[in-house]
Amino acid sequence: MARQQKPFSWILITALALALSACAVLEDEERVDDRDEMTEEERERAEEERRDTAVWAMGDRDALEGEELDMALDDPDSPISKRIVHFAFDSSEIHDEDMPILESHGEFLANHPAQRIVIEGHTDERGAREYNLALGERRAEAVKRILVLNGAGEDQLEVVSYGEESPVASGSNEEAYAQNRRAELLYRR
């Protein structure tokens, strides 16, 4: 029994480190404590709940796949639910408000060393196409540096620049430009 509990307590630490709500953590803890008294059915349900609430917190050395990855990417409470950061014109400086997003990804990747991601750098349509290709690369590299500082391994991160070739917003106005000046963190589903 004690052996079986080990991974769970490790999950808790990870969950704490990831700054999940204390409430969710407590629920997990209770569930662990109650484990002996659970029926098979209850255990299954609890297991399901656990996966629903904090699947991304699994201290699994494997990369997340399938449903688990979908959940971690789509749940707004997941630390990796936000995967785009934006930039000022001709700049690759990470905005202060985007730092927590990148820190979360760095920590997540540190906890899932087998997880690999692609960091795409993009620019708006203005100016020289080739210069923009280099600028997109520099944006992606700036993101990569923050991820590595927060525990991600270099081998988990691939950098690709599309320059201005792959806009998310069409139109030639500041609103579209602001959306297109970005770096995207892509977890392969």
Partner 1 sequence: MQPRLKALMGAALALALAPGLAKAELVVEITRGAEAALPIAIADFGDDGEALPEDVATIIRDNLLRSGQFDPLPREEFIDNPTRSDDVRFENWRALGVDNLVVGETRRDGDDFRVRYELLDVFTGERMLGRSYSVSEPSLRALAHTISDNIYEELLGRPGAFNTMVAYVAIDESDGDREFQLIVADADGHDPQSILSSSEPLLSPAWSPDRERIAYVSFEERRSEIFVQNIRTGERDRIASFRGLNSAPAWSPDGNRLAVTLSRDGQTDIYSLDVETGETTRLTDHHAIDTEAAWGPDGDHLYFTSDRGGSPQIYRADADGGNVQRITYEGNYNASPDISPDGERLAMVHRGDNGFQIAVLDLGSERFRIMSEGPHDESPSFAPNGAMVVYATRQNGTGVLGTVSLFGEARNIMATEGRALREPAWSPN
Residues of this chain that interact with partner 1 (CB under 8 A) are 90, 125-131, 133-135, 137-138, 159-162, 165-166, 172
Cα–Cα distance measured from residue 83 to residue 151, given in angstroms and rounded to the nearest whole number: 17
Nearer to partner 1, 107 or 120 (CB): 120
> Contact at 8 Å (CB) between 95 and 167?
no
Q: How far is the CB of 72 from partner 1 (least distance, A)?
A: 23
Q: How far is the CB of 163 from partner 1 (least distance, A)?
A: 8
144: which residues sit within 8 A by CB, 6+ positions away?
A: 119, 157, 159
Nearer to partner 1, 127 or 151 (CB): 127
Cα–Cα distance measured from residue 117 to residue 187, given in angstroms and rounded to the nearest whole number: 5
Q: How far is the CB of 29 from partner 1 (least distance, A)?
A: 44
> Contact at 8 Å (CB) between 79 and 96?
no
Nearer to partner 1, 82 or 138 (CB): 138
Nearer to partner 1, 4 or 172 (CB): 172
Tally of CB atoms within 10 A around 52: 10
Q: How far is the CB of 115 from partner 1 (least distance, A)?
A: 19
